[in-house]
Amino acid sequence: MREVCILTIWGFTLLLLKISSCTGDSNVVNPCCYFPCQHAGVCVRFDTDRFECDCTDTGFYGENCTTPEFWTRIRQMLKPRPSFLHFFLTHFHWFWKFVNSSFLRDTFMKLVLTARTHFIPSPPTFNSKYGYLNWESFYNLSYYTRLLPPVPEDCPLPMGTIGKPTLPNPKLLLPFFKRTKFRPDPQGTSVMFVFMAQHFTHQFFQTDFQSKRGFTKALGHGIDAGHIYGGDLRRQLHLRLFKDGKLKYQLINGDVYPPKLSEAPVHMLYPKHVPPEERLAIGHAQFGLLPGLTMYATLWLREHNRVCDVLKAEHPTWNDEQLFQTSRLIIIGEIICIVIEEYVQQLSGYLMKLKFDPEMLFDAQFQYSNRIALEFSLLYHWHPLVPDSFHIDGHEIPLSQFLFNTSTVWRFGIEKLVDGFSRQHAGQICGGYNSHESLLYVSEMVLNGSREARVQPFNQYRRRFGLKPYASFKEFTDSEEMAKGLEELYGDIEALEFYPGLLLEKPIPGAILGESMVEMGAPFSLKGVLSNPICSPHYWKPSTFGGETGFNIIKTATLKKLVCQNTKWCPYVDYHVPRNEEEAKPRQPPSEL
């Protein structure tokens, strides 16, 4: 009903605009500012007050792309609501136990992949400068791509034609983000997941803030393991050992860690108080920030060098370069496998066991190319995950003392860090009131960046992903205080911004995320990982990875293997906190048993 009202109001306003243009009124509003084209239809402006909606390949037709074609109508009738689908995927253990152990697992997994990834256009479409298709948007990789074009610059209001004349001061929104009391994720997500999220995504989320929000400094737009090997060739060469394909390292207490900065002179972001001996050289300049990031950097360094040893044993004639390059491809494959089968599995809460098998898409229409979207980079600011302090081997370390403290890594050792992080609860991402006070500046920065990029309102993205737009702030959140406050600040739910909409939306009952975060984040994620070149038919074969041994390293990769094959003893390691008393039992080093 609200959709009909909005379109009716829009039609009446357009009539007034036509009358005003006939009377010589120069203050004619760009009709595309009303976002009249539905279901991914493209608004094209003609003259001053005339527009057309291009409904090509949307499954809809009509002036506003609102009338479904025959097969679209059938699909709409058969398509379950997201809330029902999530309930189905997270309940009925007996059913999913049967599916996971039968051929139906592949069938369901393929349905999930094709249903999710079709939302993401390939090749890319818009960017922050161009709200229409052009060669620059496709060719210039320094831009993030965009799913929806920017709000036109000549709109009368910041969010088009609805809302208040100015957007609220970000500082007035921060109280809705600020943690009052730590709220653990009801799905049981661990802090091990927190650092994986940050470590994994920073290989492709590298916003160039000096060039405003719409630009990226990353040379690649996907999983290239640049956070391990360096984002450019110069950094990579500084980090390489140039012997047996390996990366440089140092030994501390007999264990392998990243080399000192003096031994691999790459740019790192360390404050002045960090002593030289604690400054490590890592693939990403910011990964000395938190011990959890340094922990993952150490694990992947050890894994790369371990894989090099495996390949050298099988291929004694290979030189350093071939060993390095093939090991890198294997590491990329391991990352993708762990991300899909364990990281996304934990995030989804699904009982269906996810599977990494590129061959499932070989007979489908799928493009093996990817561009990181601005909306995806905004969506992935999950700072509510971060707890107030970290529990490691009986010690509690406040967040403030955790920053730029690389010595924590070898003081406790990788094993105890992993064990502590895997046992500690992460925070619930959506719902608001759960971001640590020291991290609120990030939310403010994201808000300002999204405004510079003129990101369309939250409800427009709900429509783009086939979700029912919210009719009110009371429907949007379970908090009466938040609903009242947001209405005072924005004036109308249609003016709510994209980023606050994602983070403040009420969570799905018993889940870590809200409905919009799930339905928007999953397509970006799955398209990004499966469009990797190694997942294509020309790459996905044993010879690419040095034979069946290297191929199997990828196919059987797990988080536990990553840790336990590269540590002296095997700690409790999982993206989920212990589920029962048996898992919760302390694990000691072999010498202490």
Do the beta carbons of residue 565 and residue 252 sit within 8 Å?
A: no
Angstrom distance (rounded) from CA 333 to CA 335: 5
Question: For the chain, what is the total number of helices (H) and then of strands (E)?
Answer: 26, 8
- Cα dist. 238→219, 293, 406, 408 in Å? 18, 20, 20, 25
Name the residue with tokens 């400054």: 279
Do the beta carbons of residue 483 and residue 490 sit within 8 Å?
A: no
Secondary structure (DSSP) of 259-319 = PBTTTS-------TTS-GGG-B--SSTTTTS-HHHHHHHHHHHHHHHHHHHHHHHH-TT--
Q: Terminus-to-terminus CA distance in the chain, angstroms?
A: 67
Angstrom distance (rounded) from CA 270 to CA 262: 13
- Cα dist. 40→125, 134, 398, 451 in Å? 12, 18, 46, 22
- Which residues sit opposite 50 in a β-bridge? 46
Q: Residue 360, by phi and psi: left (phi above 0), alpha (psi -120 to 50) or beta?
A: alpha
- Catalytic residue numbers? 202, 380
Q: Which two tokens stand for residue 460?
A: 């427009």
For residue 477, which phi and psi values (nearest 5 degrees)? Answer: -135, 150
Q: Which two tokens stand for residue 243?
A: 């012997």
Angstrom distance (rounded) from CA 169 to CA 489: 9
Q: How distant is the alpha carbon of residue 256 from its chain centre?
A: 30
Contacts of 488 (CB under 8 A, 6+ apart): none
Which contiguous run of DSSP H or E holds residue 498?
A: helix 498-504
